[in-house]
Structure 1
Amino acid sequence: MPNALPSKICEVCGLSFNWRKKWKKNWDEVKYCSERCRKNRKSKSPE
């Protein structure tokens, strides 16, 4: 794949997600695959 986009694993749901243009400036800080997972991050146990 010549233009493979970087990917990460969502900290909440555990699914893999790819880089998106809207995350261009803060890709290093992105931890969640969606707004839904970001809002539900507190429901997961901290350990």
Structure 2
Amino acid sequence: MARMRRKGDLPTKDCAQCGLPFAWRKKWEKVWDDVRYCSDRCRGEAKRQAKGGKKT
């Protein structure tokens, strides 16, 4: 059986949109290198800004 990991031991990244740090999640295990945003909201805001939408 695998050893438990502490949350503090998990890898982290900074969100490309909001700049806040976020931690590794099990569902991102295979695509961790491709993950850029901490949430669906940040990903959506980045797409709107790329289209030329308003920045609030």
TM bracket (short chain): 0.7 to 0.9
User: 5+ residue gaps in structure 2?
Assistant: 51-56
**How far apart, in 2, do the equivalents of 1:22 and 1:41 lie?**
22
* TM-score (norm. length: structure 1): 0.81
Q: Counting helix residues as a fraction of each chain, which structure ranks higher?
A: 2
Deviations along 1:10-36, one digit per CA (max 9) or x if unpaired, are 000000000000100100000000000
Identity %: 56
* TM-score (norm. length: structure 2): 0.69
Aligned residues: 43
Counterpart pick for 2:33 among 28, 34, 42:
28
User: Would you say 1:41 and 2:22 are equivalent positions?
Assistant: no
- Structure number with greater CO (CA < 8 Å, separation at least 6) is 1
